[in-house]
Structure 1
């Protein structure tokens, strides 16, 4: 992840100025330090620093949000390479448009999800997703045997294929709600629709996933039992 972050930073041509210290905090003037405990800067503070060309502030934002954006894009697009390209574009936009950010208008994390989701939807409309079975989700921690690992990977591939088969906006609603853990209100904000529309998208998507994965029910239950043991 660190190497990928540096690659994105190099590709963006980020500046070298930084107002953050090594701990990722804004340094406090000496006369104000005393016994006050330094706190991590907010997203809004970091974006303001990015707007002034602060590379470390952008690194701090990426440390907070890059993993979730990659997960979102991977679930939407079906492969890691495209997900990394979307993540790079998202943070390039943070770098180039930070001066336009208005604190208090929206949560920065919500804005990131909206940008990433729209970029994914644009890609899906322009290019048909590839069936990239070489890019599988990481296995859960534990020490399953080789045969069990193969079963888990095959099951993950079938679940991922069912997700990729959903219409684009249904897939986006499922990914934002289920995988990203966002509420219906925030998902609606990201997709630019009403909460009622999100509920409808989720209902249709879940119904289709149940149909698509009907034959995998026993495998899913068995996988859950193994994970819980």
Structure 2
């Protein structure tokens, strides 16, 4: 980041190459629409380039700082009710040659989960997006959302309770 702050385009390209997929995946999980997520990704890296000097290494990990920018840009980009985060970027578990019935059942389950996530309030959806399938701790996710760890955990409890109620028959 120090090199990016001095205008080093090669350092910036390395950061983009290293983090673009994760930025896009997080934006897509919060916004769902691919086009919106791509717009946010472009905005995030524009901000990273123009505001690189605002990063303070001792205050937060780079990814925590970056994901906070992603969350802010995602929340600011909402135009009307936002659809839920997509779970498509989560890898499917490895199985031994599943048949077509198994694949159809998995697709149906994924669609039901995505539909249930869509009904969650944005703050709960963001909490789920940051903590599910990410290497982020609750503390890091709370910092990104600018809430206390307790508040994040409360959001997660409410989100999971709601999802359990809606998806109870999937157990």
Q: 1:103 to 1:169 in 2, by over 3 A?
A: same
The structure having more radius of gyration, on CA atoms, is 1
1:127 aligns with: 80
Q: 1:121 to 1:132 in 2, by over 3 A?
A: closer
8 Å CA contact 1:73–1:120 kept in 2: the answer is yes
User: Considering only aligned residues, what root-mean-square deviation do their CA atoms show, in Å?
Assistant: 2.4
Q: Partner of 2:51: helix, strand, or coil?
A: helix
2:11 corresponds to 1:57: yes
Q: 1:131 to 1:114 in 2, by over 3 A?
A: closer
Find the partner of 2:139 among 168, 174, 185: 185
2:48 corresponds to 1:94: yes
CA deviation after TM superposition for structure 1 residue 132, in Å: 10
8 Å CA contact 1:139–1:152 kept in 2: the answer is no
Question: How high is the TM-score relative to the length of structure 2?
Answer: 0.85
What is the CA–CA distance in structure 1 between the aligned matches of 2:53 and 2:65, rounded to whole Å? 14
What does residue range 148-167 of structure 1 map to in structure 2 within 5 Å? Answer: 148-167=102-121
Q: 1:148 to 1:64 in 2, by over 3 A?
A: same
Q: 1:196 to 1:132 in 2, by over 3 A?
A: closer
CA deviation after TM superposition for structure 1 residue 176, in Å: 1.0
Question: How high is the TM-score relative to the length of structure 1?
Answer: 0.65
Which consecutive residues of structure 1, in runs of 5 or more, have no partner in the other structure? 1-46, 218-229
